[in-house]
Structure formats: C-alpha cells, structure tokens
Structure 1
Amino acid sequence: MTVVMDAAALQEFLQRDFGQVAGDFVVERVGAAGVTLRLRVAERHLRPGGTVSGPAMFGLADVAMYLAILSRIGPVALAVTTNCAIDFMRKPRAGVDLLAEARLLKLGRSLAVGDVLLFSEGGADPVARASLTYAIPPK
C-alpha cells in the first residue's frame, strides 16, 4: 500500500480537523507497516491509582487506526469507527507516554480492518491490543 499522507501531513490534519484533541497526540512514524502514534499522558488521562484510564487507551487505539487509514487514502474526515474490541493486558507504567502501533490488515473501498498494540514508552510488552473496523464513505 502506498503512503499518501506522511507524519507531518497527519499531524496537520489532526490540528486542523480535531484541534480539541490534537495536542494529546504526536505522529511518531508512518510507513509501509502502519503508523506509530504517541499519547502525551497528562493528569486528565489518569484514573484513581495513577494509571492511564481505559477510555484514554481506547482513544489512542482509535486515533492511531484512523490515522493509519488516512495515511493510505488521504484526508477523509468522515471515515468512522464501526467496531472495536480491546483487551487490556497489563497496567501501563506510571509517568510515561503510551505508544500505539497501528497496522492495517485490509483496506477496501468501504471498510478497513486493523490491529493496534499499545505500549508504555520503553516497555517491550504490550499493555493493550485492539481490533478495529472503520467505514469509509463513498467518494
């Protein structure tokens, strides 16, 4: 699959179209294998006990897959999540950012399917795994 939006273009898209959350994310890498996205973990992302909340982790996985799709099809703001299953496997490390590695498994005309692994920065073992399906609007 050909990359049509690089990291800078995806970051600019987030800022322009999703400014309310763009500051939380940094597009680290875009390549043939997919997208790596960083969640800049802040106090608002934590749950009692100081760990990153499930909703924050879901958001990271969802945005990472969205950007992986856009990296291939261009800036389609109305592509939407139609399904997500997420497994929380271990507690994220306190005080560090989370990284999402999104990989497209299928990119069709109307649906895209992919997996996302979430890691604590510097950690070797994933803290969560998500499987997502997106609907792509007709051109």
Structure 2
Amino acid sequence: SDNPFEEMKDLQQTGTVDEYITTSEYVSSQVGRLPEEQYLGYFMGGLKTDIRLRVRTMNPRSRVQAMKIARDIETEMRGSLLPRVSAGGPRNWKGSGSGGYGLSWKTGSGSQHNPGSTRVGNGYTNYSAG
C-alpha cells in the first residue's frame, strides 16, 4: 500500500525474527518520527504469537530491546527444536586433565592414624577447595 502507517500496522512476521526486523526497520524509516511506544507496539503486534508472548513477559521498554529479546527467544526456541550439535563440550576445556586445581589435597595431619587418638569431625577437615 502507499500508506506506510497501514503497512507498518499490518506487518507480520512470516520468516525469521531477523527478516521481520529488517522489514520493520525499512517500513518504519518510511513512516518518519513516531513515539517509541508506538514503534514498540507495531513491532510487538507483528511478531509470531509464541515469540510475542515470551517477549512481552520480559517487558521491553524500547523497540531495540524488544528486537534483541525476540532474537534471543528465537535462538533458544530453535535450539530446543533442533538436535544439538555439540562442539565437543567440556572435553575441550584446557586444563581439565592437567592436574592443577586442588588435586594435591592433604588427607589430614597424620595424627588420626595413630591408634587411640580421637578423630576430630569426619576426618576430612583438611579437604578445603580454596
């Protein structure tokens, strides 16, 4: 339509959030200056329902915030729908098997091994991780 306001009001997300943002930004550039709440309202109104409901719970104050939240939600939703492709996970962490971190804990002062001495607590009093 020739009326950018009408176009903006009728704008609906059909593809990805990014595609919708691009179109929304283009149309809003045709409209000119509007109050932020109005831009936000138009943007929110065109989002897919499941995304819109979740964005709304985050209570975005601006269109830019709403866009960022919508992107994050879409990414999260995609992640839970698609099989996760893991890049090796924690196995790739440096130092996990290199014997650093607190592996040389002392098992006590030795006195607990003397027969007849009273053990304090559970015998693990020196196992402090830091």
Greater per-residue helix proportion: 2
Q: TM-score, normalised by structure 2?
A: 0.27
Higher relative contact order (CA 8 A, sep 6+): 1
Greater per-residue strand proportion: 1
- The structure number with the bigger radius of gyration is 2
Q: TM-score, normalised by structure 1?
A: 0.26
